[in-house]
Amino acid sequence: MEVKPSQLIKNAEEIRRAEKALNELYYDNKEKMMILQTCNQHLPKIKKKTHRGQLKILAFSDYRTQRIDELIHFLKHLEEKPDLIIYAGDDVDRFAPLPEKLLREEIQKYFRYTDNLELMSVVISDGRSSYSSRYDYILRLPKNTDEDKAKSRIFEIIEFIDKIYNKLCENKKLLKEDLGELIAKYSTFQLMRKRTEVGITEIVDSSMGTTIIFLREDASGSYSHYLRLGYFDLYESFKLKPSINVKKFGEDRDYSYFHVSVGEPKRNLFEELASYAKYGLLAIIGNDNNFADRFRIYGKKVYEIHNTWIEIGSVLIIGIEGSTCGMGPSGNYSEGSVRLRLELARKFSGDKKLLIVSHSPPRGVLDRAMRFGEASVGSLALRDFLEESKNITLVVCGHVHRCGGKNEKINNATIVNVSSHDDPFSRANLAWIVLDWNGEVKEIKWFKLPSLVETILKEYKGEERSLLLQKEIGLSKNEAITLVIAYHKHGNRLLEDLPELANIKYRYGFWWSSVFKLYDYGVKTPESITKTVYEKILRDSSGLEKIQVEKAYIKILREREKGIYLFSPIPIPDLERIVIFDTEYSGSTGVLYGFLDIESGEFKQFWFDEKPKAKEYLQNKLNKIFVHWGGSDKFILQKDLCFQVSTLDLLYFVQKSLIAPISSATLREVHDVLYGVLEDEFWKHSFYEMDGFYKLMLCNRILREPSDAEAREKLASANKADILALKHIIEKIGQINSGIELKM
């Protein structure tokens, strides 16, 4: 009799206890700062497939920007077809719509809904839990409304919200006369009523009586903030994926019900890909996927491998979705829950080799991320398991784009990171992996598929090509023209070098026009930018472009030279006029505001629930210059505290002028090269061990639970350390401005 994993641990309480014990035994560290999730909510089933001989696998992951049609074309023309295709997660919503049968069942639950429903997110239940889909909504309109009218209504609402949003961004508030003009222009909306006790005004749909937007009125009679409803979620989804599908799913006595999907594919591409492999396609969701995206992994020969393990020949293939890095909807799995799942795999693999499909790499192997500061973001539990186990043959992973297209070995296991960069200039990574009859890795071969830019340049012509470069790549009209001219001049040779040229542009801040001037001089990599070439393109440039060339070259010198000096003086104000400030925030929401008045030495911190005190403090500092280190600090200060004062972004001038042996102008690197590394406990815990991931987790934890004293203490300490570090930098730059030579 076959034993299933669900028989090993019989209920949710046993799972919870086992994961808690494993976390406390092995992984009780920064995980305490996250709201931890379990990856064992649904214990897997095992499917068996008979197979003999070699197993040929085609694997990829994080397929975010490249065209999926390029992948299908590649498979269609691949001479030797794979036995299995593996997708290691993220952007699953690009590959398939939610199943229509599932949608119909879920939407019918809303028929004859008695509350004031007009638009709601689709919530899908799997029998144990319910999940809200990010890009799927239910729209209820009067009976006999057809799909065209429903779609027109959606676009009208999106346009209306966009007008309000732009006014709020432009003026930091919405004036009454502006709102009046918008209401007059869009006759289907009206101001319905005002809740005077809290200053709330509602804009409603005049035909349905349904609230579209809440606005909060301030003392001046203007609207300084908006409160979100479902329509803002729809609007923001549309801004990310600007296409909408509307399908009518039925009517009851009074209403018509529609499924509204934003940016969804019209066909099941997972199923199409699976048709090119003998055993089909295995996939998991990544950390950036919503849990509802699991339901997009369906179709003939398509398997959601986190919850359905596959035994093929001499290997058992298991899946571990999401990550433990703390980022994204499914990025907070505890290491203990991952460890428990791996122990289940050990129990049921028997004499089979284990092939692990994990979105996250093992800690320390192909997992060095850059997006929030360089950090190792892989799974500790997976790393430990690989070091302890002898029967793991292969780990297919993704998540860390910087390490995509590489493979390494740990113990007996080969780790293959098959992720692709998510910029439009990079080609996609595909790994062809062959296991021998005994499940051992015999061969790994890499393929590259065209970047999005490459596809557009090759397949489109004229105005359509220029418009696609603007719409899909985000280039300006002039940049699109510049790129097309360069392609006509250099042909396919340019496409080979484009990823490196894009690296030069975005790493150093050159304009595209300057990048192609460099290319004309034979420059393909940063190392080949000499002083002679720099001076030539500087002479060929003028205006703002010339300034950008100078700034970019400073960054290049910074990487190469070992001395410390300024390319040009940095305008540091007199010390007695400086207030250093630093804010901790999540998205556009301020959590903590810190200030240091250098003249008095007064250090103050205010939390998001102490804004009146912060505003009172700032009113006595109107003659000061507020110095900060890049980021959104100035925006948060102005938006949250409504404080307009002179500011100086020191990061901007350091990037523009400081020549020093640093790889990037992060606060930590600049501080240490100018001031030196500080080794006491405060600096160790509050500065050197406090990365961007961790501070963001602290912010989110405090927003969820404002009374969390531990999180507040750690974030306040980190905020103070950043402010003191900025003070040290200001002092040292003042010395360099005065002609004092710093010793390294």
- What range does the domain containing 725 cover? 575-737
Which of 262, 279, 302 finishes a domain?
262
CA distance 153 to 520: 51
pLDDT at 741: 58
Residues 108 and 239 in one domain: yes
Residues 633 and 608 in one domain: yes
Which segment of 244-253, 338-347, 484-493, 560-569 scores lowest on mean pLDDT? 560-569
Helix (H), strand (E) counts: the chain: 24, 30
Which of 229, 262, 295 finishes a domain?
262
CA distance 110 to 338: 36
Residues 441 and 503 in one domain: no
Half-sphere exposure (Cβ direction) of 202: Cα atoms closer than 13 Å: 14
pLDDT band for 228, please (50, 70, 90 cuts).
low
Residues 112 and 225 in one domain: yes
Residues 481 and 442 in one domain: no
Residues 464 and 372 in one domain: no
Phi, psi of 423 (to 5 degrees): -95, 155
Whole-structure pTM value: 0.75
Residues 235 and 114 in one domain: yes
Q: Which secondary-structure segment (H or E) carries 102? A: helix 100-108
Q: Find all residues with CB under 8 Å of 97, minimum gap 6, and list them.
A: 261, 264, 265, 266, 267, 268, 296
pLDDT at 596: 95
CATH of the domain at 354: 3.60.21.10
Residues 233 and 159 in one domain: yes
pLDDT at 225: 66
Which of 390, 422, 447 finishes a domain?
447
User: Does pLDDT of 542 surpass 80?
Assistant: yes
pLDDT at 715: 95
pLDDT at 3: 38
Any domain includes 132 = yes
pLDDT tens by residue, 731-740: 999 888 877 6
Residue 260's identity, in one-letter code, is V
Residue 245's nearest CA partner among 374, 81, 97, 449 is: 97
* Residue 439 three-state SS: coil
Residues 91 and 110 in one domain: no
Average predicted confidence (pLDDT) for the chain = 86
pLDDT tens by residue, 243-254: 888 999 888 888
Q: Structurally, how many domains does the chain consist of? A: 4
In the block, tokens 């300490």 appear at 717
Cβ–Cβ < 8 Å for 366, 57? no
Which segment of 79-83, 192-196, 618-622 scores lowest on mean pLDDT? 192-196
More confident residue, 393 or 124: 393
Any domain includes 565 = no
pLDDT tens by residue, 461-520: 999 999 999 988 989 999 999 999 999 999 999 999 999 999 899 888 899 999 999 999
Residues 615 and 657 in one domain: yes
